Amino acid sequence: MGKMETSHQVASPHIVSSKALIEASSVSKEYCLGETTVQALRDITLRIEPGEVVAIMGPSGCGKTTLLNCLSGLDSISSGTVKIAGRDLRGLSDRKLTAFRAREMGFIFQAYNLLPVLNGVENVELPMLVSGISAREARKRAWASIERVGMRDRAHHRPAELSGGQRQRFAIARALATHPSLVWADEPTGALDSQTSQEILDLMLHLNREEGLTFVWVTHAPDIAQQAGRLITMRDGLIETDQPVDAHLRNGETTDRKQVQL
């Protein structure tokens, strides 16, 4: 499969591809714990277009991370269908799914997930080396990606020598290095102070505007969610609301950033 043809051309919300980037139909997920079954997702149907920034909020345990894991193919679903760029994930073998994910999606986590013994550039290139890209090409792409997040002068530092915001920039560089069209972010600023958190959000929003990258954020924070283009709220494994975020909220024209309520 070639690259998603939507990359780099859909920063404007006015350009809507006829093909959804993410299409979930009646997705359910159950976890079996001995005699007990946890119904983590119940019949979720959802469509996300290329170029969107979507925030998912909801109380602890409502299924946000499970939804992200199931939509991205990190976890299997119990029933339903998930298609990414028209590709049904269940039709892929484990090996093909891993390769598809590595090529087409980036992941950002609250805990950065950088390896402490590697410096910044080595952390960024590692997943590419693992997925079989040549050392020379991986290094080239890693530097290009580090450039995009403004971390060139920190690239030879190990994570312990970096601030939280700088670590997250390297994690974003790692997520972007394969030029995915879609980036999943689970509490991407959860470990950061509010100013650094805003810088990381601004970076992601810039990448969305300038390069058409699609972002799905899982977050607890209303002030982050209201900077997305669309807000999905969940409760008990269900989608409770799904609506655009008002433009005036998104542009920060209000002083009350708590207006997005669960």
Q: Which residues bind ligand ATP (CB under 6 A)?
A: 31, 33, 38, 40, 58, 60-66
Burial class for 210, CB neighbours closer than 10 Å (0-12, 13-18, 19+): exposed
Select 134 or 241, whichever has its Cβ closest to ligand ATP: 241
Give Cα separations from 162 to 91, 112, 168 (angstroms): 41, 12, 10
Alpha helices in the chain (DSSP H): 64-71, 94-104, 120-130, 135-148, 164-176, 194-211, 222-225, 247-250
Nearest distance, CB of residue 228 and ligand ATP, angstroms: 17
Gap between the Cα atoms of 83 and 70, Å rounded: 11
Gap between the Cα atoms of 131 and 112, Å rounded: 20
Nearest distance, CB of residue 25 and ligand ATP, angstroms: 19
Nearest distance, CB of residue 30 and ligand ATP, angstroms: 9
Select 50 or 222, whichever has its Cβ closest to ligand ATP: 222
Q: Return the half-sphere exposure (C-beta side, CA atoms, 13 A cut-off) of residue 164.
A: 16
Select 151 or 225, whichever has its Cβ closest to ligand ATP: 225
Select 33 or 247, whichever has its Cβ closest to ligand ATP: 33
Nearest distance, CB of residue 59 and ligand ATP, angstroms: 7
Gap between the Cα atoms of 180 and 257, Å rounded: 31
Nearest distance, CB of residue 217 and ligand ATP, angstroms: 12
Select 66 or 178, whichever has its Cβ closest to ligand ATP: 66
Gap between the Cα atoms of 84 and 74, Å rounded: 13
